[in-house]
Structure 1
Amino acid sequence: RQTQALYALLDRLLAAFPKLEIESCASGGGRVDYGILQRTHRFWTSDSNDAVERMKIQTGFSYFLPPEVMGAHIGPQWSHTSGRGLHAGFRVLAASYGHMGVEADLRKMPDSERETIRDAIARYKADREIWHTGLFSRIRTIDPQLLGAAAISADRKRGRLVLTQLDRPRSTVPPRVTIGGLDPNMQYRVTMQFASEMVRKANRTHDNPLWGEGYVVDGSTLAIVGITLPALYAQTGLAIAINPAGEAA
């Protein structure tokens, strides 16, 4: 009866205010399911705003629901739930492929963090259609501490990847990541879209072709051979863009 009463209340609210967006919460309401989704617009997957924990939670969430209904917010440097401190670059990556928001006091941040968040929001707006209407997949490698997500646009012309190294890498040799769903005969340019703090330092002795203008490769090679990642320290990450080769880098 309580559930039916909630549905009736939400129905009345939405009928009166059709532009109202309602979020269901995994913590407060304990409701992340298909029934409540008929009357809500997104889910808050956890009260934890620790980006390391969020990546694990969001990976599990993605087995059941798409990223466009996954509330994913950029938290403050220090998480109130875990006490962990994380660089802004890592925090924005964890929020960059869901229903993005900011849950931190921008007034208390240094200019460098505000700039990182501003740029992340601009990237999110530019790539939102790919993430929210394209073919979504989880990225898993031989390293259990490397988690990420990928999306291929509906026309198969573009791809976006987010990868996060949650803890110390399993090997000093960076893994490869294969990307399916692209046109196997089309030429693509693969570039580093964004790298969090310390990634450059981790690669001071590595010459990865993702830097700069990137490199050109066909979709078949990306699906079979994949992308060799740069070295990543714990709690760092990167975003990779795949675009038609004829476009400017």
Structure 2
Amino acid sequence: MASEIMLYYSLQIWCSDNTDAIDRLKIQYGTSFGYPISAMGSHVSVCPNHQSGRITPFETRGIVASAGTFGYELDLMKMSEEEKKIAREQILKYKEMEHLVQTGDYYRLVNPFKNNNHVLWQFVSKDKKETIVCGVRLHSEANPHVYLFYPQGLDADMKYEDIATGKVYTGAALMKAGLPLPLTTGDYQSIKFTFRAVEK
């Protein structure tokens, strides 16, 4: 009821003053149970974060902010040329997926409150022809396990192309057999997969 009242007066809400991207994994996960993702204000903020002091890659801060309305909350005059370049790329990438964030179905794939080493979420278009899986691997591991993830909400009989690799999978294979997460080095590394249906 409270969320309905809030959205009656404002189509966008600010779920926390905490802008640390890693903290936001839990904040945005929890907020998603009461509010639609399309209403959730989420920003890329300064690094080191002014509240936690945490150092998080620019790409990862962008991935976390893309699970919401997306924006920037930092001093543009203090950004390096490389950061400005990354920001321009992030904006373009968000515009490509914005329709999924705003109108697609949202799936919480990995719960950040259960001490997992990665957090994953997913957006699926209403016609099930397009999906994006995003997330963060929290900590680097010297001898990493092979972690599988299982997209949800797909058409089991439809074929989907992994845009990054060109490999094609059935919806059933993705949802039941899963795919391995990429091996990364360094803490707080971003994860993103894009799948589109292959026309028959």
User: Which residue number in structure 2 is paired with residue 121 of structure 1?
Assistant: 91
* Deviation, structure 1 residue 189: 0.7
For residues 88-237 of structure 1, the aligned pairs below 5 Å read 88-140=58-110, 144-168=116-140, 172-192=144-164, 213-232=165-184, 233-237=186-190
Partner residue of 1:79 out of 42, 46, 49: 49
Equivalent pairs counted in the alignment come to 196
CA separation of 1:164 and 1:170: change in aligned 2, threshold 3 A? farther
Q: Per-residue CA shift, 1:33-58, capped at 9, x if unaligned?
A: 32121110111111111101011111
Structure 2, unmatched stretches of 5+, are none
Flag structure 1 segments of 5+ consecutive residues without an equivalent: 1-31, 193-212
Amino acid of the structure 2 residue aligned with 1:158: E
SS, match of residue 38 in structure 1: helix
Write the distance in 2 (CA, Å) between the matches of 1:49 and 1:184.
Answer: 38
AA paired with 2:195?
I
Deviating 4+ runs (over 6 angstroms): none
After superposition, the C-alpha distances for 1:60-82 in whole angstroms (9 at most, x for unaligned) are 11122111001000101221111
The one-character-per-residue Cα deviations of 1:203-243 (angstroms, maximum 9, x if unpaired) are xxxxxxxxxx3411111101101121112342111211011
Which whole-Å CA distance do the structure 2 matches of 1:163 and 1:48 have between them? 19
Q: Which stretch shifts more, 136-145 or 49-58?
A: 136-145
- Counterpart CA distance in 1 for 2:92 and 2:63 is 13
AA paired with 2:10?
T
Please say if residues 145 and 170 of structure 1, whose CA atoms lie closer than 8 Å, have aligned partners that are also in contact. no
The separation in 2 between residues aligned to 1:162 and 1:170, in whole angstroms, is 23
> What SS does the aligned partner of 1:100 have?
coil
Change (3 A) 1:47 1:170: farther
Conserved 8 A contact 2:100-2:123: yes
**Equivalent residue of 1:112, what SS?**
helix
TM-score (norm 1): 0.73
Seq. identity, %: 28
**Alpha-carbon RMSD:** 2.1
Q: Report the TM-score, using the length of structure 2 for normalisation.
A: 0.90
Q: Distance in 1 between matches of 2:162 and 2:4?
A: 36
